[in-house]
Each structure stands twice: as C-alpha cells, then as structure tokens.
Amino acid sequence: MSSTTLTPARSGTPQHTSDSGRGGHGPGRPPAGGFGGGGSWEAHEWIVPAHTYKMTMWVAMAAVVMLFAAFTSAMVVRQGLSTDWVSIRLPRILGLSTAILLASSLTLELSRRSLREGSGAGFARWLYVTTLLGLLFVGSQLAAWRELAARGVYLASNPSSSFFYLLTAAHGVHLLGGIIALLYLVARAGRISLQPRNATALDVTAIYWHFMDGLWIYILLLLIARS
C-alpha cells in the first residue's frame, strides 16, 4: 500500500495558482493549507458585500411583517367572535409618540445626507438627535401604559386592552433593536466619518428604522379602527 506525504511550503507566502488548478484558491478563499498549512491566513480577508447585509435585513423585516400579520388576524377574529370585547380610549400621548418617531426618521436622513456631503460633525450631531428621539419614543410608550393603568385598564382587563399592550410591546421590543444599532453607530461615528463609503451599517440601520416607523403607523391605525 502506497502512502502520500504532504510537504509544507518552504516560505510563509502562499503560492497562488489558477482557480481551475487543483491546488488553486480564488479571491476571498483561505489558502489550501488552512490554518496549519504553509499559507498565511491573516493575509486573506473575508469581505462580505454590502448587498448581503441589506438582503439579510429585508429577510428579517419580512419575518416581522408575518409576526404582526398573525397578531392582526388574531385580533380581528377575536373581536368578531367575542362577546366581552370592550373598546378602550387610546391614550392621547400616542399622537406625540407618532410625531417623535416620524421626526427621528427625518433626523436620520439628515445624518445620512451630512455624511454624503462630507460633514462629519453634522453626521454625528443628527445621529445623536435620532438616538435621543428613539429613546423619547420608548419613554412615551411607557407613559401611555401608565395612563391606561391609572384608568384601571390592564393587560388582562379585556381582549381589547390585551391586544393594545401586545402590539405596542412587540413594536417596542423591535424598536429597541434599532436603538442598539443607533448606539453602535454613535460609538463609531468618528470612524464612519473618515470612511463614508463604508457606511453599510448606517444604510442597513436606516432601512430598519424607517420600517419601524411604517410599522408603528400601521399599528396605530389598526388600534384606532378596532378601539
């Protein structure tokens, strides 16, 4: 029985051959030796295209849409079949919440435009404002819950209040994910300002944030129609 002996390369520089060759490796692929071979793993960077991140975000948003579609269906069916549905008066602060969230989308776009125009200071400033508005929106949602509690309307009071808390809480949790992304951008604002062409994280966050705005408008209209 014959045996084969693998001899490591003599130098630390990997020998590049054509992709069609048996020992070749294309751009973005590790050397044939992997971590233990003669090639240098550190010399090869795995670059993920920007459209991959955006596509991943669109898939995630599609999952969120299906979740809220299920909530909507359950709400409509529950109201149609129940005899204990008691409509609730929506807190007035929801109007302020909506204005805050819409303003945050505007400031985020102002931040992106400042970055495109080469104004690092303007980019960071509007980014800070967007993050603050996002936190204010969450605070206004908590105030809406407190207003309902002061009126004696709780999660288990009736089906209508249950869906109000469910829908607003689910939206709030998803919005917190966007706030975390904004905080990440704030922490890297200086680096992004120096490399505006590599602002993929900003673009993906903007897509998600605007989506959260649209989702909130939908939830608000649904609550108005069913209250």
| CATH number of the domain within which 200 lies | 1.20.120.80
42 and 60 in a common domain: no
pLDDT of residue 179: 97
pLDDT of residue 83: 84
pLDDT of residue 20: 43
pLDDT of residue 49: 73
| Residue 48 DSSP one-character state | P
Tokens of 145: 């819950």
- The closest alpha carbon to 202, from 95, 83, 113, 94, belongs to 113
63 and 156 in a common domain: yes
- The closest alpha carbon to 183, from 140, 130, 141, 139, belongs to 130
Question: Is 16 inside any structural domain?
Answer: yes
Total structural domains within the chain: 2
Residue-wise burial string across 201-219, b where 16 or more C-beta atoms lie within 10 A, e elsewhere: ebebbbebbebbbebbeeb
Rounded Cα distance between 115 and 173, Å, is 29
pLDDT of residue 138: 97
Question: DSSP of 72-89, one letter per residue?
Answer: HHHHHHHHHH-S-----P
pLDDT of residue 90: 95
Question: Is 1 inside any structural domain?
Answer: no
pLDDT of residue 84: 86
54 and 39 in a common domain: no
166 band by pLDDT with thresholds 50, 70 and 90: very high
178 and 128 in a common domain: yes
97 and 25 in a common domain: no
Rounded Cα distance between 151 and 139, Å, is 19
The full length of the chain comes to: 227
pLDDT of residue 48: 62
59 and 40 in a common domain: no
Decide if pLDDT at 10 tops 50. Answer: no
Torsion angle (degrees, nearest 10) of CA 140, 142, 148, 150: -110
Rounded Cα distance between 122 and 129, Å, is 11
Tokens of 136: 């204010």
Q: Where are the beta strands (DSSP E) in the chain?
A: none
Question: Is 80 inside any structural domain?
Answer: yes
211 and 152 in a common domain: yes
67 and 22 in a common domain: no
Tokens of 177: 């994910």
Tokens of 1: 């029985």
Query: Per-residue pLDDT tens for 96-148?
Result: 999 999 999 999 999 999 999 999 999 999 999 999 999 999 999 999 999 99
Domain extent, residue 39, equals 8-47
Work out the mean pLDDT of the chain and round it to a whole number: 84
C-alpha triplet 201, 208, 141: angle, nearest 5°: 125
Residue predicted with more confidence, 196 or 74: 74
pLDDT > 90 in the chain, percent:
67
62 and 16 in a common domain: no
74 and 125 in a common domain: yes
Residue predicted with more confidence, 67 or 19: 67
120 and 22 in a common domain: no
pTM above 0.85, yes or no: no
Calculate mean pLDDT across residues 201-221: 96
35 and 112 in a common domain: no
Calculate mean pLDDT across residues 180-184: 96
Q: Where are the beta strands (DSSP E) in 88-191?
A: none
